[in-house]
């Protein structure tokens, strides 16, 4: 008996044997999930030396085989046939034959291939997809939300009683503490960093102008918007996405209720009512932080700070900050809602759109900030 590898006996747990006699490969005992991987690795290595034009795989001594064993045998057959060896499976018992038939891997052509067009065409399709599915649909949603927001101002029946107050509390009031603390710290650090430079030029008093203008026109609204986007934008996206996945939005529609009027408009009212107040609080906190830094590091007393602030502060800066807060609030609600509606899959989809909504709303807020910075300069 000629054997490739001394009968290729493996340890007991592997429980299979194979050996080659002439042009016949005998496979014996059990060949299942726990053996097939080792079997195929060993046999392919050993058969590299095989020079014959024909090979018979004898399965008469197989006692137990499952889908992994069958697939391994067909895989071996395919590999050898690719090398020009004619392979025949022989002498299998009735049970093994049934398994060979049952677990025969189907033709690869039965798989529907992933369609890939030419490169340029795929870029074009992507651009059209982005224009249609993102920009156009976002504008349509924005138009819908603004239309219903104006339309429903005096139609309280269009929403659940108390819902606007509820949303104002959730989105605005509950964010007060974090906004105030963060802007106070930012105002303090901003003044602290600037104080060293201003001291060099003996321009200590201008710390007031810097802090007040920076906080009122720029930092206050922007930091508030970023915090609200992270806190409430994500919540809006997750809420709407979950409602879509669990068919609650469909239920609203089939009850004759417009999801935009019922779900988004109250959020829009809530955010538009509270954002200006949040920004005013953020400005006060930021200036207070700046005042603390000015007092500690530049010996500018609060009285002097207030006197200078009176000259530095212009109505334009206050109004600009409030206009910005309203625009940012609108962007956060629209972006959160848009991505919430865009959810496609289950649990994973909700997480995905929530993340994208936060990133997109912060990005859009910064873009809007740049545009308004140019307009109100």
Partner 1 sequence: MDLNKIVEVNGLSASFDDQEILSDISFSAYDKQTTVLLGGSGSGKTTTLRHILGLYSAKKGAIKILGKDINQLDEKELNQLYLQMGVFYQNTGLFSSLTVGENLTLPLEQHTNLPDEIIHDIALQKLSLVNLEHTYHMHPSQLSGGMAKRAALARAIVMDPPMLFCDEPGAGLDPVSLASLDELINHLKKQLGMAIIMVTHEVSSIMRIADRIVFFDEGKVVFEGTLSEALSSKKEALVNFFDKSRGK
- Would you tell me which residues interact with partner 1 (CB under 8 A)? 32-34, 36-38, 40-41, 66-68, 71-72, 74-75, 102-106, 108, 110-114, 344-349
If phi > 0 it is left, if psi is from -120 to 50 it is alpha, else beta; for residue 6 that is left
Facing residues of 25 across strands? 20, 57
Looking at the Cβ atoms of 74 and 206, the one nearer to partner 1 is 74
Determine the 3-state secondary structure of 264 from DSSP: helix
Contacts of 277 (CB under 8 A, 6+ apart): 172
Looking at the Cβ atoms of 110 and 200, the one nearer to partner 1 is 110
Looking at the Cβ atoms of 9 and 104, the one nearer to partner 1 is 104
Shortest distance in whole angstroms from residue 44 CB to partner 1: 9
Neighbours of 62 (CB within 10 A): 24
Shortest distance in whole angstroms from residue 185 CB to partner 1: 38
Shortest distance in whole angstroms from residue 326 CB to partner 1: 37
Q: What is the DSSP string of 57-82?
A: EE-TTEEEE-HHHHHHHHHHHHHHHH
In terms of Cβ atoms closer than 10 Å to its own Cβ (0-12, 13-18, 19+), residue 166 is middle
Half-sphere exposure of 96 (CA within 13 A, CB side): 24
Shortest distance in whole angstroms from residue 181 CB to partner 1: 37
Looking at the Cβ atoms of 72 and 298, the one nearer to partner 1 is 72
Q: Which of 197, 198, 183 is nearest to 290 (CA)?
A: 183
Shortest distance in whole angstroms from residue 253 CB to partner 1: 20
Looking at the Cβ atoms of 115 and 161, the one nearer to partner 1 is 115
Shortest distance in whole angstroms from residue 100 CB to partner 1: 12
User: Which DSSP state fits 157?
Assistant: G
Looking at the Cβ atoms of 44 and 139, the one nearer to partner 1 is 44
User: Which DSSP state fits 16?
Assistant: E
Shortest distance in whole angstroms from residue 97 CB to partner 1: 13
Looking at the Cβ atoms of 6 and 107, the one nearer to partner 1 is 107
The Cα angle at residue 199 between residues 198 and 201, in degrees rounded to 5 = 70
């Amino acid at each position: 008996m000629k054997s490739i590898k001394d009968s290729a006996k493996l340890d007991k747990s592997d429980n299979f044997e194979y050996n080659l006699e002439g042009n016949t490969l005998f496979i014996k005992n059990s060949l299942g999930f726990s053996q097939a991987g080792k079997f195929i690795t060993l046999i392919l290595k050993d058969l590299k030396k095989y020079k014959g034009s024909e090979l018979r795989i004898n399965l008469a001594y197989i006692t137990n085989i499952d889908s992994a064993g069958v697939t391994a045998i067909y895989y071996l057959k395919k590999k050898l046939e690719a090398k020009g060896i004619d392979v025949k499976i022989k002498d299998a018992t009735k049970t093994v034959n049934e398994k060979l038939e049952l677990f025969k891997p189907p033709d690869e052509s039965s798989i529907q291939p992933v369609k890939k067009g030419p490169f340029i065409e795929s870029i074009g399709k992507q651009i059209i997809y982005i224009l249609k599915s993102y920009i156009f649909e976002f504008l349509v949603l924005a138009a819908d939300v603004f239309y219903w927001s104006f339309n429903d101002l005096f139609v309280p029946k269009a929403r659940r009683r108390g819902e606007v107050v509820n949303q104002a509390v959730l989105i605005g009031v509950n964010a007060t503490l974090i906004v105030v603390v963060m802007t106070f710290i930012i105002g303090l650090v901003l003044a602290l960093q600037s104080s060293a430079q201003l001291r060099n030029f003996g321009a200590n008093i201008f710390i007031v102008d810097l802090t007040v203008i920076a906080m009122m026109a720029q930092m206050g609204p922007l930091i508030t918007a970023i915090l609200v986007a992270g806190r409430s934008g994500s919540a809006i996206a997750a809420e709407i996405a979950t409602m879509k996945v669990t068919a609650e939005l469909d239920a609203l529609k089939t009850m004759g209720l417009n999801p935009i009027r019922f779900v988004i408009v109250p959020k829009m009212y809530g955010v538009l009512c509270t954002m200006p107040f949040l920004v005013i609080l953020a400005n006060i906190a930021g200036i207070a932080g700046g005042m603390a830094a000015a007092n500690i590091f530049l010996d500018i007393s609060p009285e002097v700070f207030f006197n200078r602030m009176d000259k530095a502060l212009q109505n334009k800066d206050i109004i600009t900050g409030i206009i910005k807060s309203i625009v940012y609030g609108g962007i956060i609600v629209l972006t959160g809602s848009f991505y919430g509606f865009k959810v496609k899959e289950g649990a994973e989809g909700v997480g995905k759109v929530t993340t994208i909504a936060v990133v997109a709303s912060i990005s859009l807020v910064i873009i809007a900030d740049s545009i308004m910075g140019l307009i109100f300069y």
